[in-house]
Structure 1
Amino acid sequence: MRLVLIMLKLIVAIVLLGVLVFSVWLTFIPPNGLLSATAYAAKMVCSNVFIAKRDADAVIMTDVAFALPRVVKRLNINIDNANQRVEVAFRGLFAKRYAQYEEERGCTLVSKGEIPDRAAPPSPSAMSDALWPAGERVQLSEDKRLLAALNDPALQGPGMRAIVVVQDGRIIGETYGEGFNASTPLQGWSMTKTVNAVLAGMAIKDGKLSLDRKNLFPQWAGDARADISVADLMAMTSGLQWSEDGDSPDPDGLENLANDAAAFARDRPLAASPGTKFNYSGGSSVLLARLWQNAVGANARAYPQERLFKPLGMTSAVLEADPSGTFLGEAFLFASAHDWVRFGEFLRLNGEWNGAQLLPPAFVDYMRSPVPASDEGHGPVYGRGQLWLGPGQGFRLPADTFMLQGHLRQVIAIIPSRKLVILRMGLTREDIGYSVAKLLYAIVAACRSNK
């Protein structure tokens, strides 16, 4: 009996020691996966609560649970509304991460005690009663085929948040998911890449950058990366090692672990000669953002607002940055559905808005020109300006169709020959077989019947 008691005490001691060691490990050396999860939750809640003005519980139960189903119930999420700050910790103690909101800058991962100086918030913009795009008023079509397409749950897809149809410069149809409306800022995910490419184009128009520039970073001097051009980054043919599938490097490190996302991407080794191989890469987009910011100089932080968002009337648009100040041009633009389709219409008009040419005259044509290395057997799928090409992807749409596409089935399809811009945004799993193709086909067919 005595031996049994000794053994029990020994077992209890070993278990307690194990718990202690495990706790110390989680406290001082938390694994990257856990740090990434708490960072993701902090950033996602912060952006959706303070930019999109959504209910915090709804964000946690949908967006956070969708991405982190195994750990969401073990996360302690504290929202400090007074300081517009979010703290997230695993089981309330471990891998603590913090996200801080700033007006017009969105949310950034910060350290525990870091609360930035607050500038006076901008005066809210009055919502014009003019017809979109000058204002927010719309005159919707009553066409039965279009209404049927917009309101068909199978075409909308699970988790639909917004569908908007623009024809000949006017919104003719729209529908929204529960809890969302025309003014709710929505994350574009990789649709942000195209906006980032346009900002680089504006820096080119301003004479501060060129497509053929090489020797882009001092850290690349003396090795083959010095041959990477701005055009290579735009076309996703830099040759830098990158995986979007979680192999190597860990894509979560870019937004959730790296204080300097551009340095994280910049330090990747070459896997192919520049210009020879297509490799879809969020790292290339962040490097492009860093380059145009460097080229613009002191005014870079205000550049997206002053040069693009304000001229187009995209009053809801917020492009977020990492802690170093580099815009996260691969995924982190929030804007309302009405503002996202303003951007799509801007591309349909070849970079002209209200009579002003905001991009180099042929720049949108360049963006749409195929990247030969992206041909997967049915024609190139990618354009030189971080755009997707409809024909190469097998979409049975007019040959001039090009697209912005993002994670979780975000899409803006632009069809110049039909004067059409079609947006679909949502929170939709990508492994359930849903495709936006049938929705696009139905809308295009309905709009053809209206002409």
Structure 2
Amino acid sequence: MGSPKDVNAPTREKLPPLPAQPEGVAWPTREWPEGDLPHGTDVKRLKMLMDHAFAEKAPADLGETHAVVIVKGGKLVHERYWAGFGPDVTCPSWSKAKSITHALVGILAGEEKLDIHAPADVPEWADKSDPRNPITLDLLLRMSSGIAFREDYVPEHPSDVIEMLWGAGKDDVAHFAASFPLEHEPGSYWSYASGTTNIVARAAARAAGAFGNDFEAFMRERLFHPLGMKSATPKFDAAGTFIGSSFCFCTPRDFARFGYLYLRDGMWEGKRLLPEGWVDYARTPTWQQAGVEEGPYGAHWWLDIAGPGSFSANGYEGQYTVVVPELDMVLVRHGKTPLEAKLNPKKWIAEVVDCFRPS
């Protein structure tokens, strides 16, 4: 593959280091090692934030918070659930699935079955005269393909993502997304689009030579089983493509395992699951034009919501898996936050993480 270490190398040198597994701490493949809140944690402030989020009547600023899992130094140090939820209840990923898709591409790229810098394998763009033909997986992973696709989850608004997931595109989400025309020169315009991820997911399936149940078996063998993610439940369309934009249900602890893989630079129990440099590729900033309200963004991961150097898998209605290398920490939050308050869980997460920073 085109090595991810070569992408934006000058920027990558500024990334905070990813911490290694602490000596004497077991990997969480079977169960999470448990520990106490570390010395120096602002326990009073943490309790206040949690009590607010988990109030019997959901607060207006956050909506419902169903689950929070905090891992520090490889140990589960805080966990809390709303009424009716618990460690064994699976939660929706929504767009957190995009980061799982990133991992699958990394596995295939590490086997040289995909080259992220070559034109993506998209049958709808195969004709070399098609202006979309030069679009690479790198541009797709960075949401910089230039394809026209409207990302809006409000039913009364014109929305390509709603039509893709529940309307005319639901049986073949990748074909639906790949049928949109080019709106901007590839690489010249950043625009978050779930359709982009489903194009990537199909390209991954084509590279693996597996669709539907066979691709799910690949996901389990190469990613979920090694991490101990027993609850992971990916969803597929009628064409056999993993709906990598939106649908992989997991327990909060399993989402924490996935974040932990990225915290540990793609290593697990001494074995490299993701190729060297792949996690750095995920957290290297993507160029965004002036005026973009969302971001910063890396490659199918968001950046900096819990301070500089943090990176996260974010999903609709307030689903988050946040990786904080400087604190050797993973935080998972699930819930149901109303659209008008969608920015508030980010602020709340940043405050929770601050409780673990030295005063």
TM-score > 0.5, shorter chain as reference: yes
**What is the DSSP-based 3-state SS (H/G/I as helix, E as strand, rest coil) of the residue aligned with 1:411?**
strand
Q: Tell me the TM-score normalised to structure 2 length.
A: 0.81
Aligned partner of 1:280 in structure 2 is 192
Aligned partner of 2:164 in structure 1 is 254
Q: Distance in 1 between matches of 2:326 and 2:33?
A: 25
Aligned partner of 2:30 in structure 1 is 134
CA contact (8 A) 1:162 1:175 kept: yes
Matches within 5 A, 1:31-430: 132-136=28-32, 138-141=34-37, 144-145=43-44, 146-153=46-53, 157-214=62-119, 216-220=121-125, 221=127, 222-245=129-152, 250-257=160-167, 258=169, 259-298=171-210, 299-373=214-288, 376=291, 381-383=296-298, 385-390=299-304, 395=305, 397-430=306-339
CA contact (8 A) 2:319 2:335 kept: yes
The one of the two structures with greater contact order (alpha-carbon pairs below 8 A, sep at least 6) is 2
Report how many residues are paired. 315
Q: Deviations over 1:84-134 (max 9, x none)?
A: xxxxxxxxxxxxxxxxxxxxxxxxxxxxxxxxxxxxxxxxxxxxxx88453
In the TM superposition, residue 379 of structure 1 has moved relative to its aligned partner by 10
Letter in 2 for 1:151: D
For the structure 1 residues 207 and 285, does the alpha-carbon distance in structure 2 shift closer, same or farther, using more than 3 Å as the test? same
In the TM superposition, residue 373 of structure 1 has moved relative to its aligned partner by 2.3
In the TM superposition, residue 448 of structure 1 has moved relative to its aligned partner by 2.5
Q: Deviations over 1:305-342 (max 9, x none)?
A: 11100000000001110111100000101000000011
CA contact (8 A) 2:32 2:75 kept: no
CA contact (8 A) 1:400 1:417 kept: yes
CA contact (8 A) 1:321 1:327 kept: yes
CA contact (8 A) 2:61 2:341 kept: no
**What is the DSSP-based 3-state SS (H/G/I as helix, E as strand, rest coil) of the residue aligned with 2:320?**
strand
- Name the Cα RMSD after superposition: 2.4
Q: Report percent identity of matched pairs.
A: 29
Letter in 1 for 2:52: D
CA contact (8 A) 1:150 1:173 kept: no
Structure 1 or 2: more helix by fraction: 1
Aligned partner of 1:65 in structure 2 is none
Larger Rg: 1
**What is the DSSP-based 3-state SS (H/G/I as helix, E as strand, rest coil) of the residue aligned with 2:209?**
helix
For the structure 1 residues 163 and 205, does the alpha-carbon distance in structure 2 shift closer, same or farther, using more than 3 Å as the test? same
In the TM superposition, residue 188 of structure 1 has moved relative to its aligned partner by 1.0
Q: Deviations over 1:149-190 (max 9, x none)?
A: 323335993211101111111110011111100111100101
In the TM superposition, residue 441 of structure 1 has moved relative to its aligned partner by 3.4
Letter in 2 for 1:135: E
Q: Extract unaligned runs of 5+ from structure 1.
A: 1-129
Letter in 1 for 2:301: L
